[in-house]
């Protein structure tokens, strides 16, 4: 029998399961020694190493062309969405509306500063539906129109990007809201804080993995080539606008696979797949027309704008998404005004350096020339 002295030294181990009975353990005759080391000095060394590593990474990122700018995050989009007032002018759509429309010139010409809700590789329909379903909104919508993105089917990346933004604006937590405010001063001064380019996940995606049976590697998105401010204005960096630059060439060649329709899936009969595509396209036409009618019924306005494209990308878009098939149908069904850049000499003379967007300087001049057409379309 153990003595009373040994019983006093017994320890109980916490139960592993909720209903498990506690068990006894026999104490061991040793203590864990704490090494006598210069903790303060070690802390200083670790801090200095971290600072040195971060500084080296920052210098490297700047040396390969990156610069400080905000991330185009869902939280930044949610901040912009909260600025929408009942009579606001709102820009929605893809990255051409994000790059090519200058907010300062629009404010001068329209009398109101627009809210920028367009975004890269995004379908405008989820944002259009969000604004139309907001019964307090009866302002004006400027919708950037790129056919392949405008008609993106449910579940596709362009739809997912837009839907995630809308969802975040409705479900953003106080922590996410505060985190965005805290992140912006850092992002505006540190170049390596690029969540779309320089995170470990994005760097791993750059590994040259070839296509293989049952696994097709999607084309990579374009690299960093713009700055973003707190109003979500995007401006092309000078390196991309410089004629013949390696960055410009790389982005040009990246658009072709991104805008080329993927092959039909092999696990669905071709006729069934085509029927599904036609049904989704027809549904999008009907949904957009219904949204336009609902917006006008409470005094709102919408204008569709086809912004410039150049080079091989324009040729590809004209071939795969001709104007008569999509643009003309949308304008007819919605009975909304449309501004197609090729219809006006003062708008069709601009060249997109990397085939899809205007340079920072050209975006100002283009917007200045676009304003009279917007005023006429919106009856301002």
Give the start-end residues of each E strand in 231-282.
234-236
Residue position matching structure tokens 């779309």 = 196
Whether residue 31 is predicted with pLDDT greater than 90 in this model: the reply is: no
pLDDT tens per residue across span 247-262: 999 999 889 888 887 7
Instruction: Give the span between the Cα atoms of 212 and 372, in whole angstroms.
Output: 52
Whether residue 28 is predicted with pLDDT greater than 70 in this model: the reply is: no
DSSP state, residue 215: B
Tokens of 95: 């990255």
DSSP state, residue 281: H
Tokens of 170: 């409705």
pLDDT tens per residue across span 130-176: 999 999 999 999 999 999 999 999 989 999 999 999 999 999 999 99
- Strand-pairing partners, residue 25, are 11
pLDDT tens per residue across span 303-355: 999 999 999 999 999 999 999 999 999 999 999 999 999 999 999 999 999 99
Q: What is the mean pLDDT of the chain?
A: 89
Domains in the chain with CATH codes: 70-200+223-378 (3.40.50)
Helix (H), strand (E) at residue 32: none
User: Residue 242 contacts by C-beta under 8 Å, 6 or more apart in sequence?
Assistant: 248, 353
């Amino acid at each position: 029998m153990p003595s009373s002295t040994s019983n006093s030294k017994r320890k109980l181990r916490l139960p592993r399961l909720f209903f498990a009975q506690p068990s006894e353990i026999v104490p061991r005759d040793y203590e864990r020694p704490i090494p006598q080391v210069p903790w303060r000095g070690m802390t200083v060394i670790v801090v200095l190493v971290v600072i040195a590593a971060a500084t080296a990474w920052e210098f490297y990122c700047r040396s390969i062309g990156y610069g400080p700018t905000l991330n185009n995050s869902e939280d930044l989009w949610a901040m912009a969405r909260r600025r929408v007032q009942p009579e606001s002018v709102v820009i929605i759509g893809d990255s051409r509306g994000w790059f090519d429309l200058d907010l300062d010139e629009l404010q001068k010409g329209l009398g109101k500063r627009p809210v920028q809700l367009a975004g890269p590789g995004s379908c405008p329909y989820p944002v259009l539906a969000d604004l139309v379903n907001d019964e307090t909104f009866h302002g004006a919508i400027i919708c950037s129109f790129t056919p392949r993105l405008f008609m993106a089917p449910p579940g596709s990346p362009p739809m997912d990007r837009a839907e995630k933004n809308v969802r975040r604006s409705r479900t953003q937590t106080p922590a996410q809201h505060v985190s965005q405010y805290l992140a912006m001063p850092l992002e505006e001064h540190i170049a390596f804080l690029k969540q779309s380019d320089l995170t470990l996940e994005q760097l791993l995606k750059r590994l040259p993995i070839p296509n293989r049976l049952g696994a097709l590697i999607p084309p990579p998105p374009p690299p960093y080539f713009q700055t973003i401010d707190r109003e979500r204005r995007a401006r092309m960096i000078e390196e991309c606008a410089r004629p013949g630059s390696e960055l410009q060439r790389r982005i040009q060649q990246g658009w072709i696979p991104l805008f080329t329709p993927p092959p039909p899936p092999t696990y669905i009969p071709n006729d069934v797949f085509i029927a599904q595509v036609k049904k989704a396209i027809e549904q999008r036409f009907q949904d957009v027309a219904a949204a336009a009618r609902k917006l006008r019924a409470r005094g709102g306005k919408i204008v569709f704008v086809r912004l410039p494209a150049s080079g091989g990308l324009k040729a590809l878009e004209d071939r795969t998404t001709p104007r008569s098939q999509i643009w003309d149908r949308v304008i007819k069904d919605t009975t909304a005004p449309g501004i197609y850049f090729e219809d006006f000499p003062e708008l069709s003379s601009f060249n997109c350096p990397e085939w899809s967007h205007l340079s920072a300087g050209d975006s100002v001049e283009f917007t200045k020339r676009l304003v009279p057409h917007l005023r006429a379309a919106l009856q301002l």
